[in-house]
């Protein structure tokens, strides 16, 4: 039922919030496994869980538990692969990370489109089969990554990774920024999660929903592809985070003000200056301000801002939609919370152009 789906996703978010920092802490501290090997192991476990879902009995508790595990392990790959790419960038390999991430958005749009038809014809089993195939390809591609060359250290000992509590104490500006971004993302997640209700409120249907989602995914591609050029001219990731924050709020206001499907489409184009800028900027920001020994942890905590805001918005959004205020009240509350987060972001990053701890 819808209730079971909601509970499963909420538990997945909570489990991810606990697991992802712990995995990042392990990746930063371990000397026995490289980041590449950890990424391959996590991808392999994800594939095995998907395989198990093909054969387990249709028991709601077993299936629910496996889906929670699948979500947790699948989600934890993002920060690992991101940090793997940053390792190569720092060692001098010309990796265009933002373009790769833009292609990821395009792949998401195309894969979702075709999977819709395949699911209608063959059932949801194709999603699990697709997951197993893609995880196999991930293991293969990550396995082909060469070992990045590390800069020669002038010291005899490498710096040690911090524990989570120590990391938070050493990086107070960074931690406040994470809270600010979590609040900014509230409106973004409300719009994405409940876009179908927003579309229906202005008189649209499911076909309009598909177009609106496709617009948001497609406009991300050129914006992410152009990011390296802009970043080379102004290599201050904190500035780009501010720009993204401003446009998250503008998009929330535009969605609130939209009185038609066309207005929603127009608001969705602002994804190019909000999420499409935030994604690469957040990665480079962590790379700028967090020491090498804690980079996996930093990237993972940055990724958790979306999980935390998603958890809050999924729970609060449903309650607000069911209230007498409906869609307008949900969007007003989301916009207000995101504006508060934007204010915190500007105050926090004003402590230094890079927001350095």
Instruction: Look at residue 349 in the predicted model and tell me its pLDDT.
Output: 66
The DSSP secondary structure of 160-220, one letter per residue, reads PPPPHHHHHHH-HHHHHHHHHHHHHHHHHHHHHHTHHHHHHHTT--HHHHHHHHHHHHHHH
Q: Is pLDDT larger for residue 120 or for residue 220?
A: 220
Q: In the 8-state DSSP scheme, what is residue 138?
A: H
Instruction: Look at residue 9 in the predicted model and tell me its pLDDT.
Output: 77
Which tens digit of pLDDT belongs to each residue from 82-107?
A: 888 888 888 888 888 888 888 887 88
Q: Do the beta carbons of residue 258 and residue 266 sit within 8 Å?
A: yes
Instruction: Look at residue 3 in the predicted model and tell me its pLDDT.
Output: 64
Contacts of 162 (CB under 8 A, 6+ apart): 28, 170, 293, 294, 297
For residues 34 and 21, what is the distance between their CA atoms, to the nearest angstrom? 17
pLDDT at 287 over 80: yes
SS3 318: helix
**CB-CB neighbours of 166 under 10 Å:** 11
Mean pLDDT within 139-152:
80
For residues 118 and 268, what is the distance between their CA atoms, to the nearest angstrom? 27
Q: Is pLDDT larger for residue 232 or for residue 183?
A: 183
The overall average pLDDT reported for the chain is 86
| Of 148, 1, 7, 17, the residue nearest 84 (C-alpha) | 148
For residues 98 and 104, what is the distance between their CA atoms, to the nearest angstrom? 10
Instruction: Look at residue 262 in the predicted model and tell me its pLDDT.
Output: 96
Q: In the 8-state DSSP scheme, what is residue 258?
A: -
Instruction: Look at residue 299 in the predicted model and tell me its pLDDT.
Output: 84
Q: How confident is the model at residue 351 (pLDDT cuts 50, 70, 90)?
A: low
Which tens digit of pLDDT belongs to each residue from 151-208?
A: 544 344 555 667 778 888 888 889 999 999 999 999 999 999 889 889 999 998 877 8
């Amino acid at each position: 039922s819808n209730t079971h789906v909601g509970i499963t996703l909420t538990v997945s978010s909570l489990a991810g919030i606990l697991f992802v920092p712990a995995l990042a802490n392990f990746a930063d501290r371990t000397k026995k496994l490289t980041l590449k090997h950890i990424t391959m192991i996590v991808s392999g476990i994800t594939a095995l869980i998907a395989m198990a879902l093909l054969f387990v009995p249709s028991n709601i508790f077993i299936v629910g538990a496996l889906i929670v595990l699948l979500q947790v392990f699948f989600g934890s790959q993002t920060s690992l692969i991101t940090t793997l790419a940053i390792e190569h960038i720092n060692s001098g390999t010309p990796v265009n990370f933002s373009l790769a991430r833009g292609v990821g958005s395009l792949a998401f749009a195309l894969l979702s489109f075709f999977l819709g038809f395949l699911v209608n014809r063959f059932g949801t089993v194709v999603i699990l089969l697709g997951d197993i195939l893609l995880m196999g390809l991930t293991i293969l591609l990550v396995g082909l990554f060469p070992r990045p060359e590390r800069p020669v250290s002038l010291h005899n000992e490498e710096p040690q990774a911090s524990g989570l509590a120590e990391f938070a104490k050493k990086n107070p500006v960074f931690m406040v920024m994470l809270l600010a971004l979590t609040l900014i993302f509230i409106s973004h997640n409300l719009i994405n999660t409940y876009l179908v209700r927003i579309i229906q409120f202005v008189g649209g249907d499911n076909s309009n929903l598909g177009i609106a989602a496709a617009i948001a995914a497609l406009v991300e591609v050129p914006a992410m592809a152009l990011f390296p050029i802009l970043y080379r001219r102004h290599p201050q990731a904190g500035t780009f985070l501010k720009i993204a924050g401003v446009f998250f709020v503008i998009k929330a206001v535009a969605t609130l003000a939209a009185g038609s499907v066309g207005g929603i489409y127009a608001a969705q184009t602002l994804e190019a200056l909000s999420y499409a800028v935030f994604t690469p900027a957040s990665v480079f920001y962590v790379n700028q301000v967090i020491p090498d020994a804690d980079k996996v942890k930093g990237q993972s905590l940055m990724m958790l801002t979306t999980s935390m805001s998603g958890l809050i918005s999924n729970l609060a959004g449903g309650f607000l939609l069911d209230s007498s205020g409906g869609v307008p009240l949900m969007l007003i509350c989301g916009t207000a919370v995101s504006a508060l987060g934007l204010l915190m972001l500007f105050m926090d990053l004003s402590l230094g152009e890079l927001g350095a701890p």
